[in-house]
Structure 1
Amino acid sequence: MRFHQAEVPDVRFTRRGAIGSALASGVGLNLLGLLRARAEAAPLVRGPDAPLPPIRSCIAIFYYGGPSQLETFDPKPDAPAEIRGEFGTIATSAPGVRISEHLPMTARVMHKAALIRSMHHKNTLHDPASIHTFTGRLPPQGDFELFSAAPQQFPSWGGTVAYMLRDRDLAVAHAALPFVFHNVVETPCQGAGFLGSSFDPFRIEVDPGAKSYRSDLLASREGIDADRRGVRRALLETMESRTGPPGADRMKMHYEKAYRLLASEVVGRALDISREDPRLLDRYGSADGVWAQGSGTNSESGYGRNMRGRNLLLARRLVEAGVPFVNVYDFKQQGQNWDTHSRNFAQHKETLLPPMDRGFSALVEDLDARGLLESTLVVGLGEFGRTPRINKDAGRDHWPQCYSVILAGGGVRGGTVVGASDRFAAYPDTDPVTPADLAATIFWRFGLDPASEIRDTQNRPYKLADGQPITALF
């Protein structure tokens, strides 16, 4: 076995009806999705027997497009120039751990972070690699991109956590921001899949011009204020008490969840980042900064790029408001991301690494200052890495055979490095890690047994995750 066998807590079952997290698929959430959602009994795991106190939250940062492992967390200064590239390395606050010279702020918090340098899989394209990343399962379509909309089959990390924590009756169990990412069509790995749409994420969108965030669900339609919603709610309850349609109790639970979310002042306040100290806003990154522009794929504006750091600040606010799982998507689509087939070094140096460095380090420091770091696991990764050999366009191409992941908080042993790549960062040399192992690790840290059973719409059983928790990180 690659890792120490994880000690898992006892599985305890509940027959109590589950209440969904009142979230809908697609760009937002609606009541129709709630009514269609199924609430099923499933094993829950309690935390007291776990080797570590279970985390309360996880923030998953997705660097969509595939950051280069050599230009971030696994530099190879002794490799030939055509492998090594243009960047140097710097020491970090963790003895013996060196990373890219263009991540100086992250280097200063490495004693609170850990690295996996041996993540690998076989999916070479964005859609299948993203599906494998966020579900821990092989993509149903194989290693092919999607050119028409496809339903999501397996649940994402956040969807699974929302489902397994459903008895906690949370207003929001899983949030995602600041957009739905896609290559050609929306990549089907961002929701709850066969667990049902009520466990899909609460969608939060960014308005770069206003430097603010919103969710359509929390905005009442014109003319429908709180009083009018109350009248409608009373009328609905009266009708249900008289007619008693089949499944009325379940419908009522979903309606109650939706009404609580609509009335939630905590969630609404969390979206208002203007409440933060201006100095903290600046620490995460200016929303007015103009980055170096060029002819590469990242030279276009839009999609909230100038809010990349502040997306992480909002994630912290959501965690502080009690949301267990938050996805932050760093870029929205192909041509606007880390996919550096050309000008790899210019793009990493000028537009990609500086906001990543500032935002990630600010998030770690901010969580730590607020006493939230030990209870919040931060995971930063792409869907794959980049080719060790530089191509003719000064770029690096897709490379899932070996890449890096950075984690912080949630009980990680600061300065830990799990796994090692070979001398060219091409293949794992020791302790190879898979997306299934990472999924198992996240669930285990929530106090969930990765071997717990969930069932799809055909009643076929699946484990929460097919991998093993990477306990050496903790």
Structure 2
Amino acid sequence: MNVEHGFTRRRLLELGALGTRFAGLARVRAADPPVAIAPKRTIRSCILVFFYGGPSHLDTFDPKPNAPAEVRGEYRTIGTAVPGVRVSEHLPRMARVLDRVALVRGLHHPMRNHNSAAAEALTGRTPAGGDQELLADDPRGIPTLGSAVSFALGARAGSLPYVALPYTIYNVVQLPGQTPGLLGGAFDRFQVTGDPNAPDFRIAAFENATELGARAELLRGLDRSALPGPVAQAAVSRDRAVRLLANPDVRRLFDIHKEPQRVRDRYGRHLLGQSLLLARRLVEGGVNFVTAFDGRTNGQDANWDSHEKLFPRHRQLIPPADQALSALIEDLGARGLLDSTLVLALSEFGRTPKINGSAGRDHWPDCYTALVAGGGVTGGAVLGSSDKIGAYPATDPVTPADLAATVFWRFGIDPATEVRDQTARPFRLSEGEPVRTLFGG
């Protein structure tokens, strides 16, 4: 094949791969059409806020003020907008909006290491590799929730269905649970890498759109029958990807600098605050699923893994989360987006009830708390309870599989829908049951 302008076979394959990644071209199929179990009002979008490292549920949303000091910890508690429900003193903003939030206080699963626990939380499925400290991604594994939703929405998915920001999480290896797994690159995330709070924040992919467009035009002029198989198959996908990156409406979604200063200040002029503001812009513009990670792994003090000095570290980490998450809930409500947007905030696990000798708490997946807002949730609800020291669910236990099933259900997708991969291996979107009691309809 004679290719001019420096276009090699490798560059053609790379461009084809880009198109496959962003276009949503199905590489698996649903074995049966989804069952019509949709709620009365389905959601359009979901924002998943993931606090990597494991915040202490006992020192945030499930305090035990009457427990012994070695369990209770250093923080005081405060009242909230929901009578009888108390939270940490470092959550004053969330306390004021708790009447718009449901607390799930009996979340639990069996994975005790960061990587395996993250895979469980982000996919709603126990990883096939079991509970490993440095479990790596399996390209044939269960997809991350955003990718699964993108696939299951089918024709209802937007032109940019799934965005993750502001970085990819690594714990020596890439933290599992962030990729499309067996669904393939067609349902991968559009990954934003960068600090939306930075003055020079930009999306490099958009700046390369002109070059990509020129290359796409060159490919269109070539004899398709002469192209390598993978490139020819990805031609339509590639063209869609180029159009997406060149679309000024899509580019504007990421232009956070257009936001008024007072709005940016309300979210907080920090990484998490501006990431959640960007997430709001994305769902307002039609993106179906956004995952926002909090807890960088390039510095031990930057995430929630507090085996020692938990109380001073959480004093630094809780206030930005309190500011950003409460601002997101208020802003979605003010813009009329809260009913159509489900906000799910969780981590891979909680922390041990007993404070250790280094004044920290260790990994504890046996019971912790998740937050749900919007999407028709009953504000002020508290589902389940932990025992007297926050060690195990006392009532209404919930698993990550149940939360995943809830997300599918709110989108109008049957969680039991069976999907087959390229080898015809079947799996259900979720093995859990939707937590219907949290929603009015």
**Taking structure 1 as the reference length, what is the TM-score of the superposition?**
0.83
Which residue of structure 2 lines up, in the alignment, with residue 32 of structure 1? Answer: 17
Distance in 1 between the 2:280 and 2:383 partners? Answer: 26
The structure with the greater share of residues assigned to helix is: 2
1:258 and 2:241 are equivalent in the alignment: yes
**Change beyond 3 A, Cα 1:207–1:404:** closer
Match of 1:172, SS state, is: coil
Match of 2:43, SS state, is: coil
Distance in 2 between the 1:30 and 1:399 partners? Answer: 44
What percentage of aligned pairs have identical amino acids? 49
Which residue of structure 2 lines up, in the alignment, with residue 269 of structure 1? Answer: 252
2:303 equivalent among 309, 325, 337: 337
Distance in 1 between the 2:380 and 2:336 partners? Answer: 19
Distance in 2 between the 1:60 and 1:339 partners? Answer: 19
Q: Give the C-alpha shift of residue 345 in structure 1.
A: 1.1
Q: Give the C-alpha shift of residue 321 in structure 1.
A: 1.2
1:347 and 2:335 are equivalent in the alignment: no
Native 8 Å contact 1:420 1:430 kept in 2: yes
Which residue of structure 1 lines up, in the alignment, with residue 267 of structure 2? Answer: 284
1:60 equivalent among 42, 48, 59: 48
Native 8 Å contact 2:106 2:385 kept in 1: yes
1:215 and 2:203 are equivalent in the alignment: yes
Which residue of structure 2 lines up, in the alignment, with residue 176 of structure 1? Answer: 164
**Change beyond 3 A, Cα 1:446–1:331:** same
Q: Give the C-alpha shift of residue 214 in structure 1.
A: 3.2
Code of the residue aligned with 1:347 in structure 2: it is: R
Which residue of structure 2 lines up, in the alignment, with residue 75 of structure 1? Answer: 63
Could you give the per-residue CA deviations for residues 69-109 of structure 1, whole angstroms, max 9, x where no partner exists? 11111001111111111111111112222111110000110
Which residue of structure 1 lines up, in the alignment, with residue 3 of structure 2? Answer: none
Native 8 Å contact 1:454 1:463 kept in 2: yes
1:462 equivalent among 423, 427, 430: 427
Distance in 1 between the 2:348 and 2:328 partners? Answer: 21
Q: Give the C-alpha shift of residue 248 in structure 1.
A: 7.7
Distance in 2 between the 1:467 and 1:362 partners? Answer: 31
Q: Give the C-alpha shift of residue 281 in structure 1.
A: 0.6
Could you give the per-residue CA deviations for residues 97-126 of structure 1, whole angstroms, max 9, x where no partner exists? 211111000011011100000000111110
Which residue of structure 2 lines up, in the alignment, with residue 123 of structure 1? Answer: 111
Could you give the per-residue CA deviations for residues 161-217 of structure 1, whole angstroms, max 9, x where no partner exists? 111123246321100000000111111211211001110100112247834543332
Higher alpha-carbon deviation: 375-384 or 247-256 = 247-256
**Change beyond 3 A, Cα 1:400–1:230:** closer
Which residue of structure 1 lines up, in the alignment, with residue 93 of structure 2? Answer: 105
Native 8 Å contact 2:197 2:271 kept in 1: no
1:404 equivalent among 356, 360, 369: 369
1:385 equivalent among 350, 355, 358: 350
Distance in 2 between the 1:89 and 1:201 partners? Answer: 39
Could you give the per-residue CA deviations for residues 35-69 of structure 1, whole angstroms, max 9, x where no partner exists? 5875344255487x623311000000000000101
Could you give the per-residue CA deviations for residues 10-36 of structure 1, whole angstroms, max 9, x where no partner exists? xxxxxxxxxxxxxxxxxxx96425458
**Change beyond 3 A, Cα 1:88–1:198:** same
Native 8 Å contact 1:59 1:377 kept in 2: yes
Match of 1:70, SS state, is: helix
Native 8 Å contact 2:164 2:290 kept in 1: yes
Match of 1:266, SS state, is: helix
Which residue of structure 2 lines up, in the alignment, with residue 291 of structure 1? Answer: none
Code of the residue aligned with 1:395 in structure 2: it is: G
Unaligned runs of 5+ in 1: 1-28, 287-305
Distance in 2 between the 1:165 and 1:201 partners? Answer: 15
Match of 2:163, SS state, is: strand
Native 8 Å contact 2:19 2:235 kept in 1: no
Code of the residue aligned with 2:180 in structure 1: it is: A
Q: Superposed, which structure 2 residues align to 1:77-92 within 5 Å?
A: 77-92=65-80
Distance in 2 between the 1:45 and 1:324 partners? Answer: 18
Match of 2:173, SS state, is: coil
**Taking structure 2 as the reference length, what is the TM-score of the superposition?**
0.89
Distance in 1 between the 2:435 and 2:116 partners? Answer: 23
Which residue of structure 2 lines up, in the alignment, with residue 320 of structure 1? Answer: 284
Unaligned runs of 5+ in 2: 1-13
Distance in 2 between the 1:149 and 1:244 partners? Answer: 31
Q: What is the root-mean-square deviation in Å for CA atoms of aligned residues? A: 2.3
Which residue of structure 1 lines up, in the alignment, with residue 38 of structure 2? Answer: 50
1:186 equivalent among 161, 167, 174: 174
Distance in 2 between the 1:41 and 1:401 partners? Answer: 35
Code of the residue aligned with 1:266 in structure 2: it is: D
Higher alpha-carbon deviation: 34-43 or 187-196 = 34-43
Distance in 2 between the 1:231 and 1:344 partners? Answer: 53
Which residue of structure 2 lines up, in the alignment, with residue 376 of structure 1? Answer: 341
Q: Give the C-alpha shift of residue 344 in structure 1.
A: 1.0
**Change beyond 3 A, Cα 1:371–1:428:** same
Distance in 2 between the 1:153 and 1:450 partners? Answer: 17
Distance in 1 between the 2:20 and 2:321 partners? Answer: 39
Could you give the per-residue CA deviations for residues 343-362 of structure 1, whole angstroms, max 9, x where no partner exists? 1111112x111000000000
Code of the residue aligned with 2:44 in structure 1: it is: R
